[in-house]
Amino acid sequence: MTTVLVIEDNENFRTLLRAFLEDAGYEVVEAEALDAGLSVIENQESPFAAALIDFWLAGQSALPVLDRLRVVSPATAIILITGGGPNLSIEASRSFAEVSGPLHFLQKPFGRAELLKLLHHCVS
Amino acid sequence: MGNELGIEGDDLVSDLAAAALVEQMVRTAYGSRVSADIQPLQWSIIRYISRTPRERCTLSWIKSYLGRTHAPVSRAIKKLVERELIVPRPNPDDARSSLLELTETGMEIAKADPLLRIVDSIGKLPPGDRKRFRDLVRTVALTLTDIDGQ
């Protein structure tokens, strides 16, 4: 089964993402914060096919997670999801995330079909 | 060395020169004949449309992405439509908004994006320097924007 890592601090949205992904046949590993995300990445048994990562995790940027994931698991497709955050445009957030390596990008809000279409493209 | 800017010491003088060169790079890129006719916000809109799925090319998505208010984005879009660089199409999902597309001319203009001049220069760096440059730019930009308390 294809495993997808979800790092998202909003519990309701994280639950919704898990439901979308599990319904589509993906196995989901989730983390709710920066530290938990780093821990999951360090302890993964096999590389995740893809990682859905919110740029803002409780007011902190997800850049440390992105940096670590690119080192530990370079084959994992990264999908950055963001709806904007404090004092930084979505455009700038994307640039901060993209300057250190390629990623796919999905601006919030998005629906199930949009997410699965992109994810399928990333893992196939 | 001392001056009215309060810049003292060789390192600080060189840092000021580096900052001036960063500014000069951007000015030079935006100063070409084609680029100068289009305002930076208009370039951002052209860039957004050229790399975003069609169904997300509405005024609402664009202003949210760029972190701008309605009025300046609306004015910039109007200008681009007047210059026939973008064209509004009916939105099948929302009758109140239009889907914005680049025209043939708009697509040609997009190839003259001023940022591509800087991209071209970065691409000429040796691979190690290229990565180091990107890392350093990110670090300096993080400090400036003060995210993550840098």
Q: What is the pLDDT of residues B52-100, one digit of tens each?
A: 999 999 999 999 999 999 999 999 999 999 999 999 999 999 999 999 9
Across A109-119, average pLDDT? 96
Of B67, B68, B138, the CB nearest to A96: B138
Neighbours of B87 (CB within 10 A): 16
Indicate which of A66, A99, A103, A108 best probes the interface with B, i.e. most B CBs within 10 Å of its own CB.
A99
In which band, very low, low, confident or very high, does the pLDDT at B147 lie, cut at 50, 70 and 90? confident
Residue B7, pLDDT above cutoff 80: no
Q: At B77, phi and psi to the nearest 5?
A: -65, -45
DSSP annotation of B3: -
Q: Assign A31 to helix, strand or coil.
A: strand
Taking all residues of chain A, what is their mean pLDDT, rounded to a whole number? 95
Q: Which residue does chain B place closest to A99, by CA atoms?
A: B134
In which band, very low, low, confident or very high, does the pLDDT at A6 lie, cut at 50, 70 and 90? very high
User: What is the H or E stretch that residue B28 is in?
Assistant: helix B10-30
Of B67, B138, B145, the CB nearest to A84: B67
For strand A77-82 and strand B98-102, is the pairing parallel, antiparallel, or unpaired? unpaired
Looking at residue A85, its pLDDT comes to 81
Tell me the three-class secondary structure of B48-79, residue by residue: HHHCCCHHHCCHHHHHHHHCCCHHHHHHHHHH
Residue B31, pLDDT above cutoff 80: yes
Is-contact A65 A53, C-beta < 8 A? yes
* Closest CA relative to residue A77, chosen from A123, A37, A44: A123
Burial class (CB in 10 A: 0-12, 13-18, 19+), B44: buried
Q: Which residue does chain A place closest to B67, by CA atoms?
A: A89
Between chains, do A84 and B145 touch, taking CB under 8 Å as contact?
no
Q: Which residue does chain A place closest to B139, by CA atoms?
A: A96
In which band, very low, low, confident or very high, does the pLDDT at B35 lie, cut at 50, 70 and 90? low
Residue A87, pLDDT above cutoff 90: no
Indicate which of B147, B148, B150 best probes the interface with A, i.e. most A CBs within 10 Å of its own CB.
B147
Q: Assign A51 to helix, strand or coil.
A: strand
Distance from C-alpha of A113 to C-alpha of B132, rounded to nearest angstrom: 38
Across A88-100, average pLDDT? 95
Span A49-80, pLDDT tens digits: 999 999 999 989 999 999 999 999 999 999 99
Distance from C-alpha of A10 to C-alpha of A17, rounded to nearest angstrom: 11
Percentage, residues of chain A above pLDDT 90: 93
Indicate which of B57, B65, B115, B135 best probes the interface with A, i.e. most A CBs within 10 Å of its own CB.
B65
Looking at residue B150, its pLDDT comes to 56
Residue with the larger pLDDT of the pair B57 and B10: B57
Across A26-32, average pLDDT? 97
Residue A124, pLDDT above cutoff 90: no
